[in-house]
Amino acid sequence: MRRWWAFGMMVLAAGWAAAPAAAEQRFHFTGDFVSSYIFRGVDQHEGASIQGSLSYDLFDTVTASVWSNLRLADRIGLSELDYDLRWSYLTALRAKFVAGAVYYDYTSGGRRDSAELYVGAEWNVPAKPALYLYYDFLHRPGLYAEASVGHRFLLPGYQGTVDLSAALGFDSGRHNGFHTGRVSVGMTRLLGDWRLTPAVDLWFPSDAADPGANGFSPAFRFTVSRSF
């Protein structure tokens, strides 16, 4: 199944890339060191990891990306690859609408592969509110909704920002109710074409989502990113 999914994404990417692009095509790279791999508030019990994402703008509105998780603790190795294809549309009313599909390829740990369809909306107004809906149609059918806000404070003379964000997640079809909350604090520094961001993510999962967390899961994150 995962091979067909990856093959389908490559065919779509090749087709779009062969067509004239509406704007300059660009790559975007993001690399993270995380003290704990936490996904939607749930600790994946893989310890410290290096996570990398590479995306390619096929058009102004279409982006294909691959995300990976390299486990550093115990048995070092690649534990996950995610393939994402999304379409986005920016309106004149300071809003962006997104639709896409993602395939979660778990390469170790005995977890079954999964896939989701998603839609979302982001508003370019104070507090940057956003709402995303994810529907798992492959492994554990259910709907996950996440609402988030965030703000960046410019630091004069520092060439960077202080980044604050918060999110609430709700699940329907599996846990049926509040799933997790998150508060993140980071500081971004520009270094040439690179962005460097040390940050702390404070997760507050429900007992239904992660009973072993006792309602609190902190994680340190260091991010480097660049577009080219």
By mean pLDDT, which of 22-26, 86-90, 119-123, 131-135 is the weakest?
22-26
pLDDT at 165: 98
The percentage of the chain sitting over the pLDDT mark of 90, rounded to a whole number, equals 72
Structure confidence by residue, pLDDT tens digits, 25-52: 589 999 999 999 999 999 998 899 999 9
Q: Which residue has the higher pLDDT, 24 or 226?
A: 226
Cβ neighbours of residue 210 closer than 8 Å, sequence gap 6 or more: 41, 42, 43, 180, 217
Is the pLDDT at 214 greater than 60, yes or no? yes
Q: How many domains does the chain have?
A: 1
Evaluate if residue 117 carries a pLDDT over 70.
Answer: yes
Q: Report which of 37, 27, 35, 70 is spatially closest to residue 52, judged by C-alpha positions.
A: 70
Confidence label for 1 from pLDDT (cuts 50, 70 and 90)? low
Global pTM value: 0.88
Residues 196-219 have a mean pLDDT of: 95
Sign of CA dihedral 50, 224, 203, 116: negative
Q: Residue 22 — very low, low, confident or very high, per pLDDT cuts 50/70/90?
A: very low
State yes or no: pLDDT of 147 exceeds 90.
yes
Residue ranges making up the domain that contains 46: 2-17+26-227
pLDDT score for 107: 87
DSSP string of 32-68?
EEESS-EETTEE-S--SEEEEEEEEESSSSEEEEEEE
CATH number of the CATH domain containing 179: 2.40.230.20
